Amino acid sequence: MNHSEDVGQFGSGLPLRAASNGGTHMYTDTDMTADSDSDDLDEMAQLRDDALINALAKGVLPAEYAADPLASALWSWREDLANGPVELNPHAVLSSVATLNAPLAVEAELAKIDNGTNHAAERKVLASKRRSGGLARPSKSSSIPSWFRLPFKLTQLHLGRRLVLSMAAATLGVVSLGSVAAASSAQPGDVLWPLTKVVNAERAQSLEAREEAFDRLHEARSAAKQNKLQTARESLRIALSDAEKVRDKDGREQLRQQLGVMQAQLGGPASQTDPATLPTSTPPPPAPTPTPPPPTSTPPPPPTSTPPPPAPTPTPPPKPPPPPSPSPSSSPPDSSSKTDAKSHRDSAPPSSSGPTEASTS
Amino acid sequence: MYQESNELDMSMLVALAAKGDRAATDELIRQIRPMVVRYCRAKLGRSGSGSYTTAEDVTQEVCFAVTRALSRYQDKGKPFSAFVFKIASHKLADAGRSAARSRTQPYEQVPDRAASADSGPEARVLESAEVQRIRKLMAALPETHREVVVLRTLVGLSAEETGQALGMKAGAVRVTQHRAMNKLRQLYPATAEVTA
């Protein structure tokens, strides 16, 4: 039978190793009857075995017992019991000598096929172990008894690599999760702000708009302080449009309130003091009042009143007529009283400067 | 040694658990379970499918029985582990009896799945061969010797605890384990003759 043959192989190879290593104390009692008195009295040997067993009980194979097949077998057995899978005996692997070659080639190929993920080093270790232990024949692997199945065997090499990989993966996960979490609360200008733009574009847009709006508000304030009302108003307008892009929860109402205050401040004084703004906002009020009177009140007066007061009141009369004479409204009276308006013409030039004074006052 | 300090903690846990402290019971089972697992695995070996399922089942039963028996346990100076492994050996005897009645032979299904396992068949054959060999040698030992080696080496009980579990003195345990080791060493080179 295959099996007995294998065992025989092992048995024949073993004494050599045992004799070369630690033969001094491990085989003191060569008598087959283990109950002999000399055995019981050898306290040193007892203590050594006790120490060995204590070490093995903790899953440790002392280095000095590396070549002791019993110690290493007990160690392997305990590992097998504790973990299911067995780890290779590191000492035995180191002390192993290659003796068998022919069957190995086949097995190495088998192992390669079966186990693409295995590393060359690991295979080598297995191979040398195979040589030293020398129990299994390649033909046996096809009829492996059930108890050979080791569902999750890990060699030490594998274990270390997996550990490193899993730790790296865990670290990566924590870092990326953490930065995403941090990015979700980042503010414009933060290191993680670019990440926020990617992770939460909506929020990023809203916050940027808010920043922009506040910047514009500040611009508007400083411009207003320097009395540059035009630029202040322009800034405020941009700020208002930015504020519309801010989300409710990012403080849009608050922003609007501040902008509203600014708007009120700018709106009030600007309409009265800034001449540049007159054409846009204030022309309606003054224009209707002066222009309607001219057609109604001034045309009548010229024909009726101009003849009598020309000479006596050259200076006072210009006042009432001038107001009606902005450029468009002055032509009708002129055309109606061209002949007698010669004297008025003289007074008209001064009166033309008059209306500007009136409008400004 | 850690075994002693462990036992100290364990006696406190046992006292609490015996009074019905749920957390202490959990912790106690958590501490003894690995030892019971090794014990059951050592005694039962792998089941037909190559895994330790039978041993796991028995371990479960042992832990359950220990939990139920906690209220009966009284500290009479005997370590708790002795109590546990007495229960465990009873459960194992039960399992052995039921296994003897079982006629299942699931061997044939195995190789295909085994080939796709994590490491190559070569490694499995080698490692299991080593374990199988020591198992075979252990079978040649007298019952007491075997029990001492299992409890001391594989389960990890101290000589004192092992003695309590087996009704021996600690010194006798040390002598017995030494004899067992010597016997195993002698058997090693002679394995060929033994099995042939």
At a CB cut-off of 8 Å and minimum separation 6, what does B105 contact? B48
Dig out the tokens for A291 from the structure: 């222009």
Query: What would the pLDDT profile of A302-355 be if each residue is shown by its tens digit?
Result: 444 444 444 444 444 444 444 444 444 444 444 444 444 444 444 444 444 444
Q: Can you tell me whether residue B156 is helix, strand or coil?
A: coil
Residue of B nearest to A46 (CA): B178
Q: What is the mean pLDDT of residues B181-190?
A: 82
Residue reference for tokens 């002795």 = B82
Choose the mutation target among B58, B128, B151, B162 for the interface with A, i.e. most A CBs under 10 Å. Answer: B128
3-state secondary structure A256-273: HHHHHHHHHHHHHHHHHH
Query: What would the pLDDT profile of B123-170 be if each residue is shown by its tens digit?
Result: 455 556 778 888 888 888 998 999 999 999 988 898 988 998 888 899
Burial of A37 (0-12, 13-18, 19+ CB in 10 A): exposed
For residues B60 and B37, the answer to whether their CB atoms sit within 8 Å is no
At a CB cut-off of 8 Å and minimum separation 6, what does A48 contact? A25
Chain A with chain B: Cβ pairs closer than 8 A: 235
- Better pLDDT: A143 or A94: A143
Dig out the tokens for B83 from the structure: 């109590």
* Angle formed at CA B170 by CA B168 and CA B172, multiple of 5 degrees: 65
pLDDT at A13 over 50: no
Torsion B174-B177-B181-B186 (CA) sign: positive
Whether residue B38 and residue A82 make contact (CB cut-off 8 A), yes or no, is yes
Mean residue pLDDT of chain A comes to: 61
DSSP code per residue over chain B: -HHHHHHHHHHHHHHHHHTT-HHHHHHHHHHHHHHHHHHHHHHH---TTSS-HHHHHHHHHHHHHHHHHGGG---SSS-HHHHHHHHHHHHHHHHHHHHHH----GGGGHHHHHHTSSS-HHHHHHHHHHHHHHHHHHHTS-HHHHHHHIIIIII---HHHHHHHHT--HHHHHHHHHHHHHHHHHHTTTHHHHH-
**What are the strands, taking DSSP E only, across A69-137?**
none
Which residues of chain A lie closer than 8 angstroms to B113, CB-CB?
149
Nearest CB among A118, A130, A142 relative to B119 is that of A118
Rg (CA), chain A: 54
Query: What would the pLDDT profile of B72-82 be if each residue is shown by its tens digit?
Result: 887 677 788 88
Query: What would the pLDDT profile of B43-56 be if each residue is shown by its tens digit?
Result: 877 765 566 777 78
* Angle formed at CA A275 by CA A273 and CA A279, multiple of 5 degrees: 125
Which residues of chain A lie closer than 8 angstroms to B159, CB-CB?
50
Given phi > 0 = left and psi -120 to 50 = alpha, else beta, which region is A84? left
Q: What is the pLDDT of residue A65?
A: 85
Whether residue B177 and residue A53 make contact (CB cut-off 8 A), yes or no, is yes
DSSP code per residue over A197-213: HHH-HHHHHHHHHHHHH
Alpha-carbon span A10 to A349, nearest angstrom: 135
Give the predicted TM-score (pTM) of the model. 0.40
Alpha-carbon span B129 to B185, nearest angstrom: 17
Alpha-carbon span A103 to B165, nearest angstrom: 47
Dig out the tokens for B39 from the structure: 């014990």
B19 vs chain A: nearest CA distance in angstroms? 31
Alpha-carbon span B183 to B187, nearest angstrom: 6
Dig out the tokens for B96 from the structure: 């052995």
Q: What is the pLDDT of residue A124?
A: 52
Alpha-carbon span B19 to B25, nearest angstrom: 10
Alpha-carbon span B195 to A91, nearest angstrom: 27
Residue of B nearest to A146 (CA): B50
Amino acid at A152: F
Alpha-carbon span B192 to A335, nearest angstrom: 145
Q: What is the pLDDT of residue A169?
A: 92
* DSSP 8-state symbol, A341: T
The mean-pLDDT minimum among A61-75, A110-124, A173-187, B170-184 falls in A110-124
pLDDT at B185 over 80: yes
B66 vs chain A: nearest CA distance in angstroms? 21
pLDDT at A239 over 80: yes
Give the Cβ contact number of residue A235 at 10 Å.
Answer: 23
| Helices A229-243 and A201-225, packing angle to 10 deg | 160
**Residues in A 156-185 with any Cβ partner in B closer than 8 A:** none
Give the pLDDT band of residue B177 (cuts 50, 70, 90). Answer: very high
For residues A136 and B121, the answer to whether their CB atoms sit within 8 Å is no
DSSP code per residue over A119-164: -HHHHHHHHHHHHHH----GGGGGG--GGG--TT---HHHHHHHHH
Mean residue pLDDT of chain B comes to: 77
| Helices A201-225 and A252-273, packing angle to 10 deg | 30
Q: What is the pLDDT of residue B179?
A: 92
Tell how far CA B9 is from the center of its chain: 22
Q: What is the pLDDT of residue B72?
A: 81
Torsion B133-B139-B144-B147 (CA) sign: positive
Residues in chain B: 196
Residue of B nearest to A43 (CA): B175
For residues A6 and B180, the answer to whether their CB atoms sit within 8 Å is no
- Better pLDDT: A237 or B10: A237
Choose the mutation target among B3, B43, B176, B185 for the interface with A, i.e. most A CBs under 10 Å. Answer: B185
DSSP code per residue over A40-98: HH-HHHHHHHHHHHHHHHTT---GGGTT-HHHHHHHHHHHHHHHSS----HHHHHT---
Q: Can you tell me whether residue B74 is helix, strand or coil?
A: coil
Residue of A nearest to B189 (CA): A11
